[in-house]
């Protein structure tokens, strides 16, 4: 009986532990095509928690390393920044549980592509020494329709230990940011797909490369081909292949 009481008390204590603000942003990537005219998109922010939520919104420049790690910079300081062309409204919101707020993002006319991050951040909560703030970064990409997308898979490597690992390197050689998505198939030498996986979406900035790995279940001994086929917004698809030989252990 005593043990029962302790267990119930513990569960109650855990349940009462306050979580940080919980909210969602839709979409996570905004695509705009401002060139001769301004272009506008809407980001939907929703309070997914059970308490009222105070949010602030602000911009940041960013760069991305080859492994996809973000490097954040002050607005207007990084190459490709949308600063001076981008605006959004409102810049703060007080949302009741379940309430949505539309955030309008606008890019003014201008030449060339640009990219920025729109941060949506909750106010820090609690009274402990270490308080937690939570933010979501929405990528805003402006790529005028007149800009071509160019790039391709520069490397494909496949190996198997406990699982199949396929490492790919995509190079964006065009003037616009691109979003990669597609499939990776492992085919036998007769060309039949034995297993496949979704790849992406992954963002790659102009003059940048992105290295990424997809893991698939281990395969029986034999010879296979790893075949990624990626759509990156061009008139053609990026594809590659690598031979995978699985030996008996």
State the residues that interact with other proteins by CB under 8 A: 17-31, 48-49, 68-72, 117, 119, 121, 124-137, 139, 149, 152-153, 155-156, 179, 181, 198, 200-203, 227, 229, 231-241, 243
The rounded distance, in Å, linking the Cα atoms of 227 and 244 is 10
Find the shortest distance in angstroms from Cβ 56 to other proteins.
12
Q: Which of 154, 24, 140 is nearest to 87 (CA)?
A: 140
Asked if residue 156 lies in contact with residue 240, where contact means CB atoms within 8 angstroms, the answer is: yes
Find the shortest distance in angstroms from Cβ 222 to other proteins.
18
Q: Which two tokens stand for residue 56?
A: 């602030």
Name which of 122 and 160 has its Cβ closer to other proteins: 122
The rounded distance, in Å, linking the Cα atoms of 172 and 204 is 6
Find the shortest distance in angstroms from Cβ 65 to other proteins.
9
Q: Which two tokens stand for residue 177?
A: 């940011």
Name which of 24 and 146 has its Cβ closer to other proteins: 24
The rounded distance, in Å, linking the Cα atoms of 188 and 68 is 31
Find the shortest distance in angstroms from Cβ 21 to other proteins.
7
Find the shortest distance in angstroms from Cβ 128 to other proteins.
3
Name which of 2 and 129 has its Cβ closer to other proteins: 129
Find the shortest distance in angstroms from Cβ 212 to other proteins.
8
List the alpha helices (DSSP H) in 17-54: none
Handedness of CA 214, 217, 221, 222 (dihedral sign): negative
Asked if residue 126 lies in contact with residue 144, where contact means CB atoms within 8 angstroms, the answer is: no
Name which of 162 and 235 has its Cβ closer to other proteins: 235
Q: What angle do CA 28, 74, 59 make, to 5 degrees?
A: 35
> Quick one: which H or E segment has residue 14?
helix 2-16
Name which of 94 and 132 has its Cβ closer to other proteins: 132
Name which of 137 and 175 has its Cβ closer to other proteins: 137
The rounded distance, in Å, linking the Cα atoms of 166 and 103 is 39
């Amino acid at each position: 009986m005593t043990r029962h009481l302790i267990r119930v008390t513990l569960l109650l204590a855990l349940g009462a532990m306050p979580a940080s603000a919980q909210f969602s942003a839709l979409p996570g990537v905004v695509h705009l095509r401002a060139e001769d005219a301004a272009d506008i998109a809407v980001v939907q922010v929703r309070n997914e928690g059970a308490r009222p939520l105070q949010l602030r919104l602000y911009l940041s420049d960013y760069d991305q390393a080859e492994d996809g790690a973000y490097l954040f910079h002050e607005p207007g300081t990084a190459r490709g920044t949308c600063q001076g062309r981008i605006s959004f409204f409102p810049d703060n919101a007080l949302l009741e549980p379940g309430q949505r707020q539309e955030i309008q993002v606008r890019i003014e006319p201008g030449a060339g592509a640009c990219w920025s991050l729109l941060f949506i951040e909750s106010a820090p909560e609690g009274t402990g020494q270490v308080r937690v703030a939570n933010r979501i970064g929405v990528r805003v990409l402006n790529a005028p329709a007149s800009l071509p997308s160019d790039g391709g898979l520069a490397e494909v490597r496949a190996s198997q230990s406990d699982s199949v690992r396929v490492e790919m390197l995509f190079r964006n050689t065009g003037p616009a940011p691109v979003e990669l998505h597609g499939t990776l198939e492992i085919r036998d030498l007769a060309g039949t797909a034995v297993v496949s996986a979704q790849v992406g979406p992954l963002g790659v900035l102009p003059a940048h490369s992105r290295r990424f790995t997809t893991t698939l279940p281990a395969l029986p001994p034999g010879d296979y081909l790893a075949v990624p086929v990626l759509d990156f917004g061009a008139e053609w698809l990026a594809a590659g292949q690598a031979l995978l030989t699985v030996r008996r252990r």
